[in-house]
A and B are shown apart, each in its own frame.
Chain A
């Protein structure tokens, strides 16, 4: 059974940094692209970042490019999101998701999410 478990969320002040982690199990982690998708309170879904199987390629929307960095450790089956220069609009639940990239680019499995609140 595919499992994705996020951690590292919490309350952080504007301008500060936070690093999220996602522990994966139930599949061969190194064979899959992975992603982060967020959801602001009472709002819709927003794709945040994707990383290739080896970690050599990363993709971001303009809203987080230059501030967020996605990375992975295939030996630990773990995914990370380093978030710098945080803004109030980054307040959201952050989901780790498996990104089916070779075929149709859907997010086929999701974690339960971790809350990040950016506030002074």
Chain B
């Protein structure tokens, strides 16, 4: 199984700050199959970035993604209060379809 190592596990940021989350895969995956989800407290997950860098419908432009091979990143250019959530990466390259352990974003 492909293991996804996310870091950091938690971030405390100020509004307006730039934050970056890293997802490292245990083996190389096509960038087509690396995705990011946002799960706000008490809510279900929501797809925000698919295929490394494409924003899902309705997702603000402050969210972006990049990467290739085994190293991927997710960035919020200017954090807003509504971005408080846990963020997960996920790979669709091979069965079992695995998720990273999550990164919890809190506001200072």
Q: Give chain A's interface residues, CB within 8 Å of chain B.
A: 37, 44-47, 50, 59, 61-62, 95, 100, 103-113
Contacts and interface: CB of A to CB of B under 8 A. Distances in A.
B50 interface: yes
By DSSP majority rule, is chain B's interface helix, strand, loop, or mixed?
loop
* Interface residues on chain B, size class: 20 to 34
A104 B35 contact: yes
A62 B45 contact: no
A104 B51 contact: yes
Contact of B92 (A46, A105, A109, A110): A105
Given A45-B45, A108-B50, A103 B100 contact: no
Among the interface residues B46, B99, B100, which one has the most CB atoms of the partner chain A within 10 A? B99
B85 to A, nearest CB: 13
Interface of B: 1, 32-33, 35, 37, 44-47, 50-51, 56, 88, 90, 92-93, 95-102
Given A104-B35, A110-B45, A112-B44, A61 B50 contact: no
A44 B101 contact: yes
B35 A47 contact: no
A66 to B, nearest CB: 15
B89 to A, nearest CB: 10
A34 B35 CA distance: 17
A106 B47 contact: yes
